[in-house]
Amino acid sequence: MRHGRRRFVAGFLALPLVMYAVLVLSPYAQAFYLALTDWRGVSARAEFVGLDNFARLLDDPQMWAGLRNNGLMLLVIPVVTILLALLLAALLTLGRSGRGVRGAGAYRVVYFFPQLLSVAVIGVLWQFVYTPNNGLLNGVLEAFGIAGRSWLADPALALWAVMAVVVWSSTGFYVVLFCAAMQSIPREILEAAHVDGAGRFTVFRTIVLPLVRENIQVAYIYLGIGALDGFALVQIMTVGPGGPDNATEVLGLGLYRNAFTYGQFGYASALGVVLFFLTLTLAVLVMRTSRRERIEVV
């Protein structure tokens, strides 16, 4: 009987596990191996070169530019997105009536709209917004008498312009996430605080924030991983792409360029391995901190 049940379970698990191995584990394993070769991606010839690719990475100005920009994105995007999403979620859920501002339901839907657009559409749309001579942004600014700028062609502004789009497109999702978390806070606790004379900000800081902390941490990991990528928007929107003069270069773009433009799949795989460990480190760090804080709270 037991044997039959095992076979039954195995029958269900075999296909998904094999697919996982073929489609997920095997490409990862291959990337790690290819990172140690000079594979060009156009034939089966690949010679083992040891850690040469990783040594070359250290001497690659584009890699450093990518690391710097991804680092800045990692600092800015999660913090700004989470703050904005928390603010909007609080406005939508935490009113004195307990229902948030009027029309909260409609706002929640509207905020979620960018999430429904593909990244490519978002990139193209914002490219039109930013375009200097007849773009929406410069048009609005000029209506107020402010001189327009070449947003995506100015090294001092380009990365910020891209980050604004990332924040714009991801905030809505986290508004919905935080709204759900805030709605699950027992009303009695909030009411009790009000009765005790706590102002809105105090309630938010001392009650709401600690109770949605875990959601914030999840959001941080997701946004952090997203900030380490950024490839699609940069590829579609920026000058070069990755420019002007590497101002918006990201690691993912360098990986793509080395593989598909320069025909250096081995080197690109090495970049991929570095990116893999960066992402992994970020996730582990955030989870470690979250565990410690939970102990403190309890």
The site map against other proteins for 90-129 (x = CB under 8 A) is -------------------------------------x--
Largest CA distance in the chain: 82
Q: 37 has which bridge partners?
A: 48
Shortest CB 41 distance to other proteins, Å: 6
Stretch that binds other proteins, among 23-31, 75-83, 178-186, 281-289 (CB under 8 A): 23-31
Q: Which residue has the tokens 């900030």?
A: 227
- Give DSSP secondary structure letters for 21-73: IIIIIHHHHHHHHHTTB---SSSS---B-TTHHHHHHHT-HHHHHHHHHHHHH
Nearer to other proteins by C-beta: 10 or 109?
10
CB-based contact 66:253 (threshold 8 Å): yes
Q: What angle do CA 159, 133, 148 make, to 5 degrees?
A: 60
Q: Per rule CB under 8 A, is residue 290 in the interface with other proteins?
A: no
Residue 4 as a binder of other proteins (CB under 8 A): the answer is no
Give the separation between CA 231 and CA 260, rounded to whole angstroms.
14
d(CA 129, CA 115): 18
Q: How far is the CB of 161 from other proteins (least distance, A)?
A: 10
Contact flag: residue 8 with other proteins (CB under 8 A): no
Count residues binding other proteins (CB under 8 A).
Answer: 58
Considering only the stretches 12-20, 115-123, 186-194, 271-279, report the one whose residues sit in contact with other proteins under the rule CB under 8 A: 12-20
Identify the sign of the CA torsion 23, 26, 32, 38: negative
How far apart, in whole angstroms, are the C-alpha atoms of residue 290 and residue 216? 10
CB of 119 to other proteins, least distance (A): 17
* Least distance to other proteins, CB of residue 45, Å: 5
**Does residue number 260 form part of the binding site for other proteins (CB under 8 A)?**
yes
**Among 98, 103, 139, 155, which residue interacts with other proteins (rule: CB under 8 A)?**
155
Q: Site residues (CB under 8 A) for other proteins?
A: 6, 10-11, 13-15, 17-22, 25-26, 29-30, 32-34, 37-46, 48-49, 52, 56, 127, 130-133, 150-153, 155, 238-241, 243-246, 257, 260-265
